Structure formats: structure tokens, C-alpha cells
Amino acid sequence: MYKRILVPIDGSPASNLGLEEAINLAKDQNAALRLLHVLNEWLIVSPDSVGTNPADIQQELRAAGDSLLNEADARARAAGVTATSALIEQMGSPVGAAILKHAEEWPADLIVCGTHGRRGVRRLVLGSDAEYIVRHTRIPVLLRRHPAEEEKG
């Protein structure tokens, strides 16, 4: 049924659950898996900061994103699933918007996301990429909720 599954990853426990769900589903459906990491870090550096180079910080973020994608790819391969990956730099707009743009361009027929399942003020303060995706796409979305957040709820 699903042949092109997009899974955004950020290395969080919830994201890792989403990745596992996507790997299992891709294996079951014999689907293509796309791993996606979005760099969306605001670099706030004072002009008088000593020894801080924004270009170096940005390079470190790219390297960390590449490492995260390589680890996710290794997990997929260990399960017998072939994956492709993409690293997107999206500064200043919602991560969810970058995910949806990539999902449409790739094109995905399913997006699998891990979610923290935050509610109330915690959701408002911290935001929710998963909620953004659900509210703004026509592509089916599968959410995998992190159990530690359920226990707190």
C-alpha cells in the first residue's frame, strides 16, 4: 500500500521510535524509505564573543546531522531495508514546513513521525513539528508517541 515512506529524524527518543516504526513498515510493505534531518538552529552570537565562529558552529551542526543520518541508515540496513537520506538547512521557518516541502517534492505517500505527545502549555511553549505536519498536509501521517510522555500525562 505505501511505497515511499518519509521519516524525519532528530535523534530524540520519540524520533527513534518513529524511525523504528518506519523501518518495520518499509520492510513489511517493501517500500522505499527516506530519512530526513532538518537543520533549523538559530545562531545567536554576540559581536564581542571571543573564539566563536558561526561558520564553525554551522559546520558542526551539519556534521552532527550527517552522523545522525548515517546511524539511522545503519539501523535500516540492519533490518534489511534500503534507505536514502537528505539533510536540509531550513533557517527561520518551521521545521514542519521543510518536512512537508520535501515530502511533496520526493514524493512521499506516507510520513512517519515520532512525537512527544505534549499537551497544553508545554505544547505551546515547545511547539510541535508533528502537529504542524498533521495540520498542513494531505499526505497520510503515522504518529508514534513516545511512552515516557504518556506516563507523565
Lowest mean pLDDT of 19-23, 138-142, 149-153, name the range.
Answer: 149-153
Length of the chain: 153
Q: Measuring CA to CA, how many Å separate 38 from each of 47, 81, 99, 120?
A: 27, 22, 8, 25
- pLDDT for 50: 55
On the question of pLDDT at 149 being above 70, the answer is no
Q: Residue 146 — pLDDT band, cuts 50, 70, 90?
A: confident
Would you tell me which CATH number, out of the four given (3.40.190.10, 3.40.50.2000, 3.40.50.620, 2.30.42.10), belongs to the domain 4-152?
3.40.50.620
Residue 153: pLDDT band (50, 70, 90) is: very low
Separation of alpha carbons 140 and 153, rounded Å: 26
Averaged pLDDT for residues 27-51: 78
Helical ranges in the chain per DSSP H: 13-29, 54-78, 95-105, 120-126, 129-136, 147-152
Q: What are the structural domain ranges in the chain?
A: 4-152
